Structure 1
Amino acid sequence: MHILIISLPLHTNIGGILQSYALQTVLSRNGHDAIVLNRPFCSKPSVAKVLAKACCRLLKKMLGRETVPLFYDFKHYKEYTVISQHTEAFIEKNIHCRYYKRYTDIREADWDALVVGSDQIWRRNFNQKIENVFFDFAWDWKNVRRIAYAPSFGLDTWGYSDVETKNCAGLVKKFNLVTVREESAVGLCEKHLGVKPMHVLDPTMLLDRKDYEALTSEVKEKSDGDMLVYLLDPMESNLVTVKEVSAVLHHKPFYVFSKVNDTSLPLSERIQIPVEKWLKGFQDAKFVITDSFHGCIFSIIFNVPFVVLRNEQGGLARIYSLLSMFCLKDRLVDSVDDLKQLKIIDWNKVNAIREKKKYFALGLIDKILR
C-alpha cells in the first residue's frame, strides 16, 4: 500500500524526528510504501515578501509598536539552515519524505491509506487549522483507509473550539482505526469526539534497541561522561538539580541538548546535535536525567535508570501516562531528596510490558492495512 504519514513538521525536534522514522520503518518492514509528509518548517522567503514585511515593520517601528528586526524573516531562515544542519542530514538520509505546501495539494489517487501520528499532532496550538490533521482535505475520498496512530493532545484538557470540536467529531468517525498515545486522551476523545480510541505505545517503542544502535554505528566518539542530561527546559533550578544528583550518585554529567531557540547565544551554540550522537548518549549512559517525554522513552528502550524533572510547559499528561504504563511513576521527581524514594527498576517487567503492548499495536495496524 501507498501510505502517507502526517505528523508535525520535521525540524530540530529529535523525538519528533525519531517517532516519524520509527513509524515509517515499521510500515515499510510490513511491505508498504510509507512516505512522511514534511511541510516546510522554515522556507526561504522571497525578496518581495521580505521587503513587504520590512516596510510594515518600519512603519510600526516609527509608531513605536514593533521590536522585531526589519529583515527578521531572512535572518531567521539563514540561522535555521545552520541550526538544523545535523537533523536535516538525518532526515535526508533516513526518512522518505514528500513535500506538500498545502494539505489540499494531496491527491486521492496517490494514496491507499492516510496515517496521522504520532507526537502532539492533535494539540490545537500546534496547528493553524486542526481539521487538517483529521483529514478534512480527504473528507469525500472513497477508497482510502484512515488511521490515527498514537496522536497526542499534549495536555489532559480540551483545547478545541465548539466549531472545531463538531468538525473533528464528524471527521474522526470516518477513521478505520483510532488510537491515542496518552490514557487521558481516551477520555477526551470519548467526551468530545464521540469515539473510544485504544491506548497504544509511541511509535519509537515499536522498534528495538538494536534498531537504534544500527543508526549509531558510525559514531566513534564516546560520550564525555556517564550521566546523560537531556532537558527541554534547562532553567537554572533544573541545572542545580543535575549537579546535586551527580554528586549524590557519583556520576559525571554530559549534555545532549542545544538551546536552539535562545537567540541571545552565538549561532554556533544553537546548532542541534546529530540524532545519531543523541542516541549514542543513551548507549553510553549509566543514568539519565530528563524532562522530556522521548527522553523517558529512550531511557526505557535502552534500559538505563532515569529520573524525570517536572516540565509543566511541555505537557505532563504524556509523561504521567508513559510512567504509569510501565509502573514507573516514582521516576517523576521534584528535587534530589526524591532519590531516596526510588525503587530499583525491574527491567524484565518493563521489557515484558513493552513487548506485549508492541505486538498489540502492530496487530492493530496490520489488521487495517491487510
Structure 2
Amino acid sequence: MKIGLITIHNVTNYGAILQAYATIQALSKYGDVTVINYQKNHLSHHMDLFRFKKSIRGIKMLGHDVLNFSSRSKMLSKFNKFIKQNMVLSEKVKREELLNKIDMGFDLYICGSDQIWNPEIVSSKNILDPIFFLSFAPKGSKKISYASSIGHHQFTNSEKPKVKEWLEDFNKISIREADGRQKLLEILPDKKVQQVLDPTLLFSKEEWLQKLNIPVKQPKEKYILVYSVPRTELIRKAILFFSKKLNYKVYSIDKGLIPMQKVDNQINKAGPKDYIELFANASFVITDSFHGLCFSINFEKPFAAISSKKVGNRQENLLELMKIDDRLMRNEKDFYKLNTNLENVEGQRNILRGLRENSLNYLESSIIS
C-alpha cells in the first residue's frame, strides 16, 4: 500500500518533527509512507539559516540568526540530517499544484498529527488551509485523519461550513484533544470522531531509544531539564524554585542567544535525537510545551507542567486523560503542593498502555477497514 501523509514536517520545532517521525513509524507497518513535501513558506521558512520578514519582529529575528549563526547552523544541520535519514519525502509541491488535483498515486491519504487544523499555526493570516484537510486528494480516495489538532482555536461561523465540506467525505476522523472532538461533532453531528493519543505516545521510552539508536547510559549528574519556548515569568520562577528545592543543575533546550537565569547548561544546538536523549536522562522536567509534557509522561519523569493559560487546553486535556492534572502549575502557590517524586508509576504506566493500545487499534482499523 502506498500511503501519503500530510503533516507539519519542515520546521525546527522538536515536537512537530518527532510527531511526524512517530506517525511515519506507526504507518509503516501497513505500507510505504511518503510525506507530501508541501512547501508553505509560513512553516518552511523556519528551516532557513537566516529568517526574515518585512516587520519589526522579522528584523529582530534576522538579527538573532546572524548573531547566533554558529549554533543555528549546527542545529539546522541536525534537523536536516534527521529528516533525510528518517523521512521519505515526495517532490516539493506548492499549494496551487495540489489544489489542481495532481494525482500523486497514493492508495491512502492521511493527515495529522499536530495543530494542522489551527489557522493560527499554519497561516500568517490566520486562515484555514484546505491542504491540511486533504482537499487535494482525488475524488473517491480513502482519507483518514489521525490525531489532528485544532489547538485552542474556535471555528468561526464562516469557517464551519468549510470544515464540514472538507471533512464530510473522510473515511475516518480522529483528533487529539477532547474539546477538539466536541468542536467537530457540532459541525459534523452525523460523523464519528474518535479521540486518540498524540503519535509520540504510541511508542515507549525503550522503543524510542531503540528506533533512534540512542544508547542507554548513566548521566554524569542529576539535572532538571527545562523546555520552554516563550520563556514566561512563571517558567523563570519555576526554575528558581525547583532548582533550589532539588539542588540539581539546570539544563535548558533553548535556541536563544542568552540563557535564562539559573540555567547552568543552555543547549542551543540540539537536534531531534539530542532532545530525546536529554529527556531520557533528566531527573526532573519543567515545561510548558505539549510535546515536552508527552515525553515527560512517556519517559516516566517527575515534572512540573507550567500552564500556558489561554492556549493550555492541550496540556490540560492530556493531564486529565492521565489523571495527573495536579501536576499543572497555574501559579507560584502550586509549586509548594507538587510532589517532586513520581507517584503511582505502575498506575500511570497502565493508563498509558491502555490508551496506546486503543489508539493503535483505531489506527489499524481505520487503515484496513
Query: TM class by shorter-chain length?
Result: 0.7 to 0.9
* Aligned partner of residue 38 in structure 1, secondary structure: coil
Matches of 1:202 and 1:150, distance apart in 2: 6
Which consecutive residues of structure 1, in runs of 5 or more, have no partner in the other structure? 58-64, 263-268
Partner residue in 2 for 1:62: none
Which consecutive residues of structure 2, in runs of 5 or more, have no partner in the other structure? 260-265
Matches of 2:234 and 2:104, distance apart in 1: 53
Q: 1:284 aligns with which of 259, 281, 285?
A: 281
Q: Which amino acid aligns with 2:361?
A: G
- Map Cα deviations across residues 55-85 of structure 1 (whole Å, 9 max, x no partner): xx8xxxxxxx98966xx79x89x96766522
The structure with the largest helix share of the pair is 1
* Aligned partner of residue 247 in structure 1, secondary structure: helix
**1:26, CA displacement in angstroms?**
1.0
* Distance change (3 Å), C-alpha of 1:280 and 1:67: closer
* Aligned partner of residue 147 in structure 2, secondary structure: coil
The count of residues paired between Structure 1 and Structure 2 equals 338
Query: After alignment, is 287-296 or 127-136 more displaced?
Result: 127-136
Preserved CA contact (<8 Å) 2:234 2:331: no
Matches of 1:323 and 1:249, distance apart in 2: 23
Matches of 2:276 and 2:358, distance apart in 1: 26
Partner residue in 2 for 1:11: 11
The answer to whether 1:37 aligns with 2:36 is yes
Matches of 1:67 and 1:184, distance apart in 2: 32
RMSD: 3.2
Partner residue in 2 for 1:96: 88
| Structure 1: 4+ residue segments shifted above 4 A | 65-69, 78-83, 218-225, 269-272
* Aligned ranges 1:1-370 → 2 under 5 Å: 1-28=1-28, 30-40=29-39, 41-42=44-45, 84-103=76-95, 105-106=97-98, 107-108=102-103, 110-128=105-123, 129-138=128-137, 140-142=138-140, 144-155=141-152, 157-160=153-156, 162=158, 164-194=159-189, 195-214=191-210, 215=212, 217=214, 222=219, 225-259=222-256, 271-312=268-309, 315-342=311-338, 344-370=342-368
Matches of 1:66 and 1:121, distance apart in 2: 27
Q: Which amino acid aligns with 1:86?
A: K
* Distance change (3 Å), C-alpha of 1:120 and 1:224: farther
Matches of 1:289 and 1:10, distance apart in 2: 26
Preserved CA contact (<8 Å) 2:234 2:332: no
Preserved CA contact (<8 Å) 2:12 2:47: no
* Distance change (3 Å), C-alpha of 1:84 and 1:20: same
Matches of 1:123 and 1:67, distance apart in 2: 22
* Distance change (3 Å), C-alpha of 1:271 and 1:288: closer
Between the aligned residues of both structures, percent identity stands at: 25
Preserved CA contact (<8 Å) 2:253 2:267: no
* Aligned partner of residue 307 in structure 1, secondary structure: strand
Matches of 1:240 and 1:43, distance apart in 2: 29
- Map Cα deviations across residues 273-295 of structure 1 (whole Å, 9 max, x no partner): 12111111122111111011111
Q: TM-score, normalised by structure 1?
A: 0.81
* Distance change (3 Å), C-alpha of 1:333 and 1:114: same
Matches of 1:112 and 1:292, distance apart in 2: 35
Matches of 1:117 and 1:311, distance apart in 2: 22
* Distance change (3 Å), C-alpha of 1:305 and 1:270: closer
